[in-house]
Amino acid sequence: MTALSRLRKNAIFETVFLVAVALGLALSVQAYAVKPYRIPSPSMEPTLHIGQRVLVNRLTHRLGSKPSVGDIIVFHPPAAADDEGCGAAGQGGGTQFPCSRPVPKHSGETFIKRVVAVGGDTIAIRGGHAVRNGVREKDPYVAPCGDSPEQCTFSHAITVPKGYVFVMGDNRGQSDDSRFWGPVPLKWVIGDAIATYWPPDRIGGV
């Protein structure tokens, strides 16, 4: 084998090796750090629209970070979310108590919602606005709840269990969320939505 042939062979090997390393790093980043998600429904409008794509930080949650009120998170919802749970069916059409009963099993789906209360907080909903520990949230991001008044008021407060978060969509009249199937365990949280990257005219933080 000539010196030129050896150089070509080494160059090809180095190229293949670098591509393999780059692919491995990209897959590792997606698996453990940052992953893209597509918004499938209008439940987070006007903040996030159908088809919009967001980047979700998975790493900080794996390292023990806990969601805070106001964070937008991706998570596995309770299994009851597939057929609606205690809030929708058992609480007088949404006029009494939001669902307070944790569900032991999660669904295989992934949802994206906003955290409106954390473990130990009391939560009620009046006119589509979260009332946490007796104080109404500052919520310029929410859509009016006028089209679905039965979902807008759960006037009796419940307490969110420790180790759980209570989540709601910003489109309060068109969101299937903790009001109807209860709080979400922290261990079902995948990560925080940190930025939107598609479409181009909506690139930025969330």
pLDDT in tens, 28-75: 444 457 789 999 999 999 999 999 999 999 887 767 788 999 999 999
Compute the half-sphere exposure of residue 19: CA atoms within 13 Å on the CB side of its CA: 6
Q: Which two tokens stand for residue 38?
A: 């597509």
Question: In the annotation, is 138 catalytic?
Answer: no
Q: Choose the catalytic residue: 43, 100, 175, 178.
A: 43
- Tell me, what amino acid is at 71? D
Mean pLDDT of the 81-92 span: 50
**Residue 41 burial (10 A CB sphere; 0-12, 13-18, 19+):** middle
**CATH number, span 35-205:** 2.10.109.10
Question: In the annotation, is 113 catalytic?
Answer: yes
- Tell me, what amino acid is at 8? R
User: What residue ranges do the domains of the chain occupy?
Assistant: 1-32, 35-205
Q: What confidence tier does 90 reach under pLDDT thresholds 50, 70, 90?
A: very low
Q: Choose the catalytic residue: 100, 107, 113, 178.
A: 113
**Residue 112 burial (10 A CB sphere; 0-12, 13-18, 19+):** buried
**Residue 110 burial (10 A CB sphere; 0-12, 13-18, 19+):** middle
Mean pLDDT of the 105-126 span: 94
pLDDT at 206: 83
Q: List phi, psi (to 5°) of 149.
A: -60, -25
pLDDT at 89: 34
Rounded to an integer, what distance in angstroms lies between the CA atom of residue 129 and that of residue 125? 5
Rounded to an integer, what distance in angstroms lies between the CA atom of residue 117 and that of residue 69? 6
